[in-house]
Amino acid sequence: MQKKWLTLPGLSVLFVFAVAPLFIMLFYSFQSDNPVMEFTLENYKHFFEKSFYLTLTWNTIKNSFYVTLISLAISYPLAYIMAKKLKGARNIILVLIIIPFFTNQLVRVYSWLIFLQDGGIFENLLSSLGIVHGVLGILYTRTAVIIGLVHAFFPYMVITIYLALEKLDNALLEASASLGASGFETFRKITLPMSWPGIVSGFLLVFVPCLGTFVEPRILGGVNGTVIGTVIEDQFFEIYGWNFGAAIAFILLAMVLVSIQIFTRLGKERAV
């Protein structure tokens, strides 16, 4: 009984600063913008009746999916090399991967802004190599947003996959090779299934935050980088349409919950 009481302070903080604000925002999402506050579904109807918001929702999902796939393509080979090929250097690489977490998000994003801008370091480098002639024009596009998001979130994917691969017994790989299996067969039948929990966790840690991000799209994408997160930010801080912004936020929350459910179920099915 005493142990249960010890959880009360933490639960109280969680309720006051997380659960209660959600209920307050839920309440406002069902309120009209009229001086006389009344219950209405207009905010949600307005969202689904406007093709603009539905298109942004679809673009947000696609961006998150692209970022997740690119992060997986980069992270899996790196995590495998760290777990199975390197020994002493793996800790150094881990530190290099984690270092961006100690840098302010705005600093990282503005660094990419300077790096990708026309006439910037990246354009000059490609021009010197003869790859690009003229203006690169990558800044303020979806490509720039995806680059910034991959840089921000791929470390989560690397770490989760690395932890899963590190637990994989090398004896299984050696036994597979001794039985005549090719490297691809060993990967398909042993390495990939054993690392699947790390992949699913990485998908969750990359895809879900990407759905609600707005800093990278705002700075690196400009008008072309508009996503649901930037719309919510505008509603709360620019337009002061709190009721409609709250409704969009809860629609985004529903997308997050559905994504978590899909990835969790997918992980359980593959585990079985």
Does residue 228 fall inside a structural domain? yes
Q: How far apart are the first and last CA of the chain?
A: 37
| Residue 250: predicted pLDDT | 92
| Residue 241: predicted pLDDT | 84
Closest to 259 measured CA to CA, from 55, 61, 72: 61
246: domain CATH number is 1.10.3720.10
Does residue 10 fall inside a structural domain? no
| Residue 271: predicted pLDDT | 55
pLDDT at 140 over 70: yes
Does residue 85 fall inside a structural domain? yes
Does residue 100 fall inside a structural domain? yes
Q: How many CA atoms lie within 13 A of 113 on its CB side?
A: 14
- Tokens coding 214: 């707005």
The structure tokens 């925002």 sit at 25
Question: What is the rounded CA–CA span in Å between residue 236 and residue 214?
Answer: 13
Q: What is the DSSP letter of 138?
A: -
Query: How much is the mean pLDDT over the chain?
Result: 87
Helix axes 51-80, 192-212, angle to 10 degrees: 140
Does residue 243 fall inside a structural domain? yes
Closest to 161 measured CA to CA, from 188, 133, 200, 190: 200
Domain extent, residue 265, equals 19-31+38-271
Closest to 157 measured CA to CA, from 112, 110, 211, 202: 202
Q: Within 10 A of 178 (CB to CB), how many other CB atoms are there?
A: 8
Q: What one-letter code names the amino acid at 106?
A: L
pLDDT at 146 over 90: yes
Phi-psi region of 132 (alpha: psi -120 to 50; beta: other; left: phi over 0): beta
Mean pLDDT, rounded, for 245-271: 84
Give SS3 for 68.
helix
| Residue 127: predicted pLDDT | 85
Give SS3 for 239.
coil
Q: How many independent structural domains does the chain possess?
A: 1
Does residue 254 fall inside a structural domain? yes
Does residue 6 fall inside a structural domain? no
The top-scoring range by mean pLDDT among 65-74, 113-122, 235-244, 257-266 is 65-74
pLDDT at 36 over 80: no
Does residue 14 fall inside a structural domain? no
